[in-house]
Amino acid sequence: MQIDEKKLAEYYSGAPDDISLDDVDLTRIPRHVSIIMDGNGRWAQARGLDRTKGHVAGVDSLREAVTTSVRLGLDVLSVYAFSTENWKRPQREVDMLMHLFATTLLKELPLFHQENVRLRFFGDIEALPAQTRNVFEEGLDETADHTGMTFALAVNYGARAELTRAARLIAQDVAAGIVQPQDVDQALVESHLYTAGLPDPELLIRTSGEQRLSNYLLWQLAYTEFYVTPVMWPDFSRWDMLRAIRSFQGRHRRFGGVVSA
């Protein structure tokens, strides 16, 4: 996406000591950044608050991450908001999260309009409570014509479930004679993933210091650079995004090959 350098410089004024906009190469910003937003519960507990307060604070970080990504000209920002395993959390927390997703999305629609952001979901949103599903569908409809950054929310998402679903869909097409077994290739698998049509993430950020994938985008992250920060998600700021991109730009990506001399 196009970068408005004036807006970007304004957005990034008042830099802390260790990082500024000059530390990143604006011509080499990753097209797709994905984030595992982790640490909301610990952030709240460290302040003597209920875990759910951490999720509320996490919404502010997410809003900032969307704006930051638009300013930096990303094509895609995706975030892991709720996994297929998160249903195991206490019912009260699950209910609160489902409600928070719906109310947040409704509240942020003006921002998506203003910034020309197109919404997308990774995961089985059909299985969500009706209120949440309805708001998500409204968000999809309302932003379908937007041509700016894609903002993808992974909700009720699990990579194993996604790959299993793709296998099932392809098997159905083979059984129906629409696809021949010898025509099943990587492109066909990709076209049956929730991420169909999007570039793979070039950079994956995980907050709160945990170093695992937690069943996230197992196919799409095959060659992605990881950046783990100890910062808890509610404290993650536009500066942390720059730190992550600076780190990414210092890597040598080889995709299984060798670096040419």
Segment near ligand FPP (CB under 6 A), from 15-23, 40-48, 140-148, 192-200?
40-48
Q: Report the residue from 34, 68, 84, 104 that binds ligand FPP according to the rule CB under 6 A.
A: 104
Number of H helices, E strands in the chain: 8, 6
Q: Do 160 and 218 contact (CB within 8 A), yes or no?
A: yes
Q: How far is the CB of 16 from ligand FPP (least distance, A)?
A: 23
Segment near ligand FPP (CB under 6 A), from 1-9, 63-71, 101-109, 220-228?
101-109
Per CB under 6 A, 117 contacts ligand FPP: no
Segment near ligand FPP (CB under 6 A), from 57-65, 124-132, 136-144, 161-169?
57-65
Per CB under 6 A, 62 contacts ligand FPP: yes
Which one is catalytic: 75, 86, 200, 235?
86
Instruction: Give the distance from CA 250 to its chain's centroid.
Output: 22
Instruction: Give the C-alpha separation, 165 to 233, whole Å.
Output: 30
Within the chain, residue ranges assigned H as helices are 5-11, 40-45, 51-71, 91-114, 130-143, 159-175, 186-191, 238-249
First to last CA, the chain: 31
Q: Report the residue from 1, 29, 101, 243 that binds ligand FPP according to the rule CB under 6 A.
A: 101
Q: Do 209 and 228 contact (CB within 8 A), yes or no?
A: yes
Q: Report the residue from 96, 153, 154, 198 that binds ligand FPP according to the rule CB under 6 A.
A: 153
Q: Which is nearer to ligand FPP, 57 or 170 (CB)?
A: 57
What's the angle, vertex CA 241, arms to CA 237 and CA 247, rounded to 5?
Answer: 140
Q: Respond yes or no: is residue 86 known to be catalytic.
A: yes
Annotated catalytic sites, by residue? 38, 86
- Contact set with ligand FPP (CB under 6 A): 37-42, 55, 58-59, 62, 81-82, 86, 97, 100-101, 104-105, 153, 208, 233
